[in-house]
Chains A and B, each alone.
Chain A
């Protein structure tokens, strides 16, 4: 997993609530057996028309908006547990998502892949959307060590929460599996006294 310390970037706005993982990556694109290449089909059915032409109305096709931060409405990533959703967002080039609320499984999947889910207050989310709308070249700085997101050229910033263990993993690029593999003897000891009925 890639390390995440700070990110300074413009952002792509997607002010829609309850974006489910079927929109992020439709099920018919889950047939690959590797983790790569899912970015091509990120938001496939919003990004392309039924005739497979780019949909000019969708934000990823609008040259005004570029950047490594995706900003989305509340309850982002609900629905299916497919990790392919996090892979697709990362593969497309995003390194952080900003929203006022995440579905549990998506949040975990993102953290397991070096994609930082930044949860801000609804009021700060509105301010971010307003700043991007007024000036798409507005930069945002996400400082994971300080747990702070700020809007460049303004005094505006907000603290965000993250599980301390997950923070360490993101900053150092550690995977859960490395931690768990080191616990083999404890797991084997646990198994000896654990009864499955």
Chain B
């Protein structure tokens, strides 16, 4: 019997079987940030123990950093305190920190891959549910709570029960204007926000293979939005090309050895999955959400469903100020946010810039573009993307999680509609009373220009 990609990686990291279903799992890479780590460091301090492996631990400040004037002290006192605590904790325990002002600073799930810290075959954890992003490289990566952050800091291990295996196959060719964000929003709309619960998902098929690494990261990133423990994609030439030459990627003979191992990371022909789905790329269009969880999505030219047919839709529509059976096309919007660990990489910014070049945003819409990292920010400036954004009336900011969760000043006001390239449209996610419409960077850019929800495909012919 063959093994799945997931099983190959997981099984190579089992330190001990503890009994029915529970295993001690070794963690290769631990990313930490300011929000979910202070109580964990406190725990180590109380026990008087060090970080088990500082070389495998990397920290950055991202969740509540401001996205303007990062060279100045953080104004908001609680945010400043939390970021200061991270700095102190990292200094005390000897953990490398990419803090504000550091050239490697950025959203934790953007910097790991761009620095080559994320590599095929690894187990990766972080106190953040979007850790599944790293699965795009063929890793077993998942989000953990703060107690588990403490466990990994203390022992480089976690007690885990092994999830079930799911494979989602997307075959075919994507239509013009349809991005990987649309693929994952489409999948979640079919499987619902809990359809992946208990599973680790492998994304496969010709449509997935044709995607860039950045596009693959967008898909794996949102695995948690269908409740899955994580998502991963088998590494291939696209992965290896992306990694080669990155600062922490192996080089020389070590590269050749790594490559030999990485090429063994795929699901065997006869591997068995506990559940399997098949979708056609041709059926997927530009997606938008209409409700208050990421499963409440539709292809942009469809109508909102009848509230009686789906549980929770009526409550969601009341919050969103939308009507059942209403068209999403033409829905007026107030804000556009392009950023977050889902869609803030250089490729996302290039797509947006390419679309808006020579165009101007609708006068009633406020648009901000928040790069995923300092490196993305510099690259965008080097390519002149910032000038294109400025000419279109888009504000180009400094890196951080920003309006994805509104822990800093970047909040959407009550009742306002925001087309967002982020990952969650929960009530109040972008600020109390804010109404989030999730979409791809292209659909968001088109909405910014039109001032309402439009079908980006009609602009591309």
Contacts and interface: CB of A to CB of B under 8 A. Distances in A.
Given A22-B429, A28-B406, A112 B148 contact: yes
Contact of B26 (A79, A86, A112, A194): A194
A53 interface: no
Nearest to B262: A197
A183 B15 contact: yes
A173 interface: no
Contact of B157 (A45, A84, A103, A183): A183
Contacts of A26: 428, 432
Contacts of B49: 181
Contacts, number: 189
B229 A31 contact: no
A34 interface: yes
Contacts of B20: 163-165
A33 B407 contact: no
A83 B36 contact: yes
B99 interface: no
A123 interface: no
A81 B64 CA distance: 16
B435 interface: no
Interface in B425-447: 426-429, 432-433
A112 B147 contact: yes
Given A86-B145, A108-B148, A184-B155, A22 B19 contact: no
Contact of B193 (A18, A165, A180, A187): A18
B432 A50 contact: yes
A33 B128 contact: no
Given A109-B147, A112-B147, A187-B155, A164 B432 contact: no
A113 B354 CA distance: 49
B371 interface: no
Contacts of B145: 81-83, 86, 105, 108-109, 112
B429 A27 contact: yes
Contacts of A18: 193-194, 293, 312
B144 A105 contact: yes
Interface string B77-89: 0110110010000
Given A20-B426, A28-B407, A103-B194, A78 B227 contact: yes
Given A27-B405, A31-B78, A180-B154, A22 B424 contact: yes
B359 interface: no
A135 interface: no
B432 A187 contact: no
A56 interface: no
A97 B384 CA distance: 53
Interface residues of B, number: 79
Interface in A1-51: 16-18, 20, 22-23, 26-28, 30-35, 45, 50
A42 to B, nearest CB: 14
Interface in B315-358: 315
B427 A23 contact: yes
A32 B148 CA distance: 18
Interface stretch (B38-46, B210-218, B269-277, B301-309): B38-46
Contact of A163 (B22, B150, B154): B22
A81 B82 contact: no
A80 interface: yes
Contact of B21 (A30, A79, A86, A163): A163
Nearest to B38: A33
A181 B224 CA distance: 29
Interface string B398-415: 000000011100000010
Contacts of B194: 18, 74-75, 78, 101, 103
A184 B15 CA distance: 11
A22 B432 CA distance: 11
B30 interface: no
Nearest to B254: A197
Contacts of B129: 79-81, 105
A179 B159 contact: yes
Interface in A81-133: 81-84, 86, 101, 103-105, 108-109, 112-113
A34 B85 CA distance: 11
Contacts of B120: 197
B315 A16 contact: yes
Interface string B10-39: 001101101111101010100000011011
Contacts of B229: 104
Contacts of B151: 176-177, 180
A95 to B, nearest CB: 17
Contacts of A186: 15-16, 24
Contact of A197 (B13, B79, B154, B261): B261
Given A105-B129, A179-B159, A187-B155, 20 more contacts: A16-B315, A18-B293, A22-B426, A26-B428, A32-B78, A35-B39, A78-B227, A79-B129, A79-B424, A83-B36, A86-B145, A109-B145, A176-B148, A177-B154, A183-B16, A187-B52, A191-B156, A195-B261, A196-B28, A197-B262
28 contacts: A18-B193, A18-B293, A30-B407, A31-B81, A33-B85, A78-B194, A79-B129, A79-B426, A80-B129, A80-B424, A81-B128, A83-B36, A83-B39, A103-B227, A105-B144, A112-B145, A163-B21, A163-B22, A165-B21, A175-B147, A177-B151, A177-B155, A181-B47, A183-B24, A184-B155, A191-B156, A194-B26, A197-B261
